[in-house]
Amino acid sequence: MKIGIDISQIAFKGSGIERFTSGLIKTILTYDKNNEWIFFFSSLRNQLDYDIKIQIQNKGFQIKDYPFPPTLLSLMWNKLHLFKIDNLIKSLDWLITSDWTEPPSSFKKATIVHDLVYKRFPETLSSIISRNQNLKLNHVRKESKVIFADSLSTKNDLISLLEIPENKIIVNYPGVHIIETDGDFDLNILKKNNINNRFILSVGKIEPRKNIQMLIDAYIELDLSSIDLVIVGDYGWGPHIKKYDNIKYLGYLDDKELFSLYKKSLCFIYPSIWEGFGYPIIEAMASKTPVATSNTSSMKEISNNAALLFNPYKKIEIKNSINKLINHPDLRKDLIRKGIINAQKFTWKNYYINLISTLESII
């Protein structure tokens, strides 16, 4: 097959969509030996990572790199729905579109939908993102032959909120790439950021949907002077995090630094209101860290009885979960054991096999 795929969202460093796009590219380059791939990338301010570009070229695949801003492509492809992508490449068996734009095309189209937060919780997103998602998915409903959903939760939302036929939707769980670190590196990360040896970790872009302020409020009320709260993630939008003692806001970290913190943390807390998948949950489990997370959407689904669950709107439940993880070592050991087993189910090889076999089966 000749497959085109839009990888533009790899430019958004530190986001879940960047994590997914990066993982998918690596998977294609690792496992695909039979198909021809054309990678589309467009950004005005960011460039495609040089190492990734070289790896794509070394595999004999093509790169179509354009200096167009996402706002322009959103206007042209989502709002006006003009200029077929056929003008950029003459023949494809499949076009896999990105999370952001839906270009018109004569080729068979597939898309990957991570979540429908813009429908369920529009108040937790910027109006620009909500409008764009609405425009894109209206075209997806009419034009996509198949939709890959990151979770059963997202599949159910596609059916109930967009009335997309169930037989067009395939649940395909993303994989996680684990990064190993050594003891010296781990200690240096703690020292560099002045982090207590005992600390609670949370990961997520600073925006209302991630519910970080609720976690902070719960932590403060627990008065854990000997245990730091470490928050990793870029600022997105909405209120900024207030400064408190023992709360270390580190912003964006590269993967090696992040996985070092996963490994060294006492526990991992993920209080998001709604997620299509929730990478940090599985990454923490794979790093042998006990997890507590929200009981909503895909978070309950992918945790699969290997995490403590709480209502993200109830501070007392978050406090209780933190207390249990801190004060009950046997519980931590049990969750670590269950988490390791659960994380092994989420592999990029499985994702790739499911993706290709589905495309091959559709005429």
Phi and psi torsions of 334, nearest 5°: -65, -40
pLDDT of residue 124: 83
Residues forming CATH 3.40.50.2000 domain(s) in the chain: 2-175+347-361, 183-343
> What single string gives the DSSP state of each residue in 3-72?
EEEE-GGGGSTTSHHHHHHHHHHHHHHHH-SS-EEEEEEE-SS----HHHHHHHHHTT-EEEEE---HHH
Position 236 pLDDT exceeds 90: no
> What is the spatial distance between Cα 43 and Cα 24, in angstroms, rounded to a whole number?
19
Q: What would the pLDDT profile of 268-316 be if each residue is shown by its tens digit?
A: 999 999 999 999 999 999 999 999 999 999 999 999 999 999 999 999 9
> What is the spatial distance between Cα 47 and Cα 140, in angstroms, rounded to a whole number?
27
Pick the CATH number of 183-343 from 3.30.2350.10, 3.30.457.10, 3.40.50.150, 3.40.50.2000: 3.40.50.2000
pLDDT of residue 264: 96
Q: What would the pLDDT profile of 62-87 be if each residue is shown by its tens digit?
A: 999 999 998 999 999 999 999 999 99
> What is the spatial distance between Cα 168 and Cα 149, in angstroms, rounded to a whole number?
10
pLDDT of residue 227: 97
Count CB-CB contacts under 10 A for residue 184: 8
Buried b (16+ CB within 10 A) or exposed e, 128-154: ebbbbbebbbebbeebbbbbbbbbebb
Position 263 pLDDT exceeds 80: yes
Q: What would the pLDDT profile of 14-47 be if each residue is shown by its tens digit?
A: 788 999 999 999 999 999 999 999 999 999 888 8
Residue 138: closest CA among 167, 113, 166, 175: 113
pLDDT of residue 54: 95
Classify 2-175+347-361 by CATH class.
alpha beta
Local confidence band at 244 (pLDDT 50, 70, 90 cut-offs): confident
> What single string gives the DSSP state of each residue in 249-318?
EEE---HHHHHHHHHH-SEEEE--S--SS-HHHHHHHHTT--EEEESSHHHHHHHTTSSEEE-TT-HHHH
> What is the spatial distance between Cα 277 and Cα 136, in angstroms, rounded to a whole number?
20
